[in-house]
A and B are shown apart, each in its own frame.
Chain A
Amino acid sequence: MSGDCADKDVVISIRDLVFSRGARKIFDGVNLDIPRGKITAIMGPSGTGKTTLLKLIGGQLRPDRGTVRVDGQNVHKLRLGQLYALRKRMGMLFQTGALLTDLSVYENVAFPLREHTQLPESMIRTLVLMKLQAVGLRGARDLMPAQLSGGMARRVALARAIALDPTVIMYDEPFTGQDPISMGILVKLIHDLNEELGLTSIVVSHDVKETAGIADYIYLISEGQVIGQGVPEAIERSDSCWVRQFMQGLADGPVPFHYPAADYAADLLLEPA
């Protein structure tokens, strides 16, 4: 309907997004565009609402104001059936993994295939093993989620997220808890999926170096606003002190490390009520 939707190269467009949790405004007028077939990174300090943003895109939360369009469809105006049809084309890797604890690794990856396709068992097996091979966990197929380490669980969740070959995939902190080797493999995997399948990827991450290495475009959000955006080189050369502080991990600067609070000294001296 609006002008930017005509732009074919934008898969997800967010306009004037406002969202609050209780009295706290998490987003206050965010505008974002996610280009098709590219890797877009969303970065920002812990607790700024990156996970919340992904849930808004997936239609799990409703914004107070503003629109989220995926492929031109306003996510929050869709009926449930349409929303589910849209979600079949979107994969999401949850920050916590969100594996089904009563199913084995194999069955977890097979789950979306069993739910949404009528493929014969042999085909499902092939697909599941391929996805598990890609994340290096083919040998762990018979383990239960409780027997996995945090990093392994996340890789299984990644295998499951790509099981249906989605066109858009959202990774919430894919690198957390990975050792340098699996980190390198995951970075390459995300990159390759994007190249070979033409996926549109959204990567939420704190790992500045890895993310900047594969991202085509970076958004930095903080305190409810987009406070920096651009290709990685531009972000790195940015002269905004906020962006510099975040990208270089400096302690001093405009980015608050603390959750909003009263003055520290005054707080310590305060008599307990």
Chain B
Amino acid sequence: MNQVPPFGSLATMLGPLQRLGHAALKALQKLGRAHLFLVHVMSGLPDLFRRARLLLAQMYSVGVLTVLLIAISGLFVGMVLGLQGYNVLSDFGAEQTLGVMVAASLVRELGPVVTALLFSGRAGSALTAEIGLMKATEQLSGMEMMAVDPIKRIVAPRFFAGFLSMPLLAGLFSAVGVLGGYFVGVGLLGVDQGAYWSQMQAKIDFYDDAVNGFIKSVVFGAIVTWIAVFEGYDSVPTAEGVSRATTRSVVYSAFAVLGSDFVLTALMFGES
């Protein structure tokens, strides 16, 4: 009665495998497109030297408009660090080193990482949505027909603006965070002001801490902006497609930042 086709069970076993393979191939294809896209974006760099105005306009909307968010977040993170650090350090009578702890946490880790996450939520999602909507409303195709390369004219300035803004924003985050730690530690909890700064000066190393933190923020800036502009450009050109692309842009950025942070940290601080 219940005729099972001879290879029925095999087919049901192969089904999930087939879907897995299909998904993997699609992911690889997308990765390939993303890299070709990046190369194309890079080829727009020479044009940007001639038309700095385009870059500056994007630096404003991608970078400057994110400054307030970064500054306020940095302040609060620094204040929390001051509070938590004081609680732990004072148990060992080491509250004089609060400045070191605050600055090291910020410069090495929290500055680049939190800035990148905030940046992807504030600026990256906006980039994805903007480019996606331009695609959905045929503005990109219209530009192509006017013999203007949308990747060079629209995407490249946005990419480089994000790439340049990130390290500056991360620097700002750390600087404001150190001040936040100072307000709480020195201002409220009575850590010695001289010790806060001098210990920090003595223990924070330019190469080990500042340069490594800077390298991280450069890498994160490139990753987050790349994901943002690519997701926008590669989005399905409908309202739903753009909304999905925006979500993906933030989610993938978070994964990519945290994952690469581990790799970079292992490379930079792993042996010492």
Contacts and interface: CB of A to CB of B under 8 A. Distances in A.
B146 A111 contact: yes
B122 interface: no
B169 to A, nearest CB: 23
A217 interface: no
Contacts of B139: 98-101
Chief secondary structure at chain B's binding surface: helix
B17 to A, nearest CB: 25
Interface stretch (B147-155, B181-189, B240-248): B147-155
B144 A60 contact: yes
Nearest to A160: B146
Contacts of B144: 58, 60, 87
Q: Considering the complex of A and B, which 10 residue pairs feature the smallest CB-CB distances, nearest first? A: A98-B142, A87-B147, A98-B138, A84-B147, A92-B145, A88-B147, A112-B146, A115-B148, A96-B138, A58-B145
A85 interface: yes
A60 B148 contact: no
A27 interface: no
B90 interface: no
A94 interface: yes
Contacts of B147: 84-85, 87-88, 112, 115-116
Interface string A81-106: 00011011010101010111100000
A219 B148 CA distance: 30
A111 B146 CA distance: 9
B57 to A, nearest CB: 10
A88 to B, nearest CB: 4
Interface of B: 134, 137-139, 141-149, 153
A116 B137 CA distance: 23
A116 B146 CA distance: 9
Contacts of B141: 55, 60, 94, 98
B18 to A, nearest CB: 20
A160 B139 CA distance: 13
B149 A94 contact: no
B149 A90 contact: no
Given A96-B138, A100-B143, A116-B147, 12 more contacts: A58-B144, A58-B145, A84-B147, A84-B149, A87-B146, A88-B147, A94-B141, A98-B137, A98-B138, A112-B147, A115-B146, A164-B146
Interface of A: 55, 58, 60, 80, 84-85, 87-88, 90, 92, 94, 96, 98-101, 111-112, 115-116, 157, 160, 164
28 contacts: A60-B144, A60-B145, A84-B149, A85-B147, A87-B144, A87-B145, A87-B147, A88-B147, A92-B145, A94-B141, A94-B142, A94-B145, A98-B137, A98-B138, A98-B139, A98-B142, A99-B139, A99-B142, A100-B139, A100-B143, A101-B137, A101-B139, A111-B148, A112-B147, A116-B147, A157-B142, A160-B146, A164-B146
A116 B145 CA distance: 13
B137 A112 contact: no
B146 to A, nearest CB: 5
Looking at A80, A92, A160, which has the most chain B CB atoms within 10 Å of its CB?
A92
A157 B142 CA distance: 10
B250 to A, nearest CB: 23
A115 B143 CA distance: 10
A71 to B, nearest CB: 15
Contacts of A55: 141
A87 to B, nearest CB: 4
A80 B144 CA distance: 11
Contacts of A88: 147
Given A98-B139, A101-B139, A90 B145 contact: yes
Contacts of B145: 58, 60, 87, 90, 92, 94
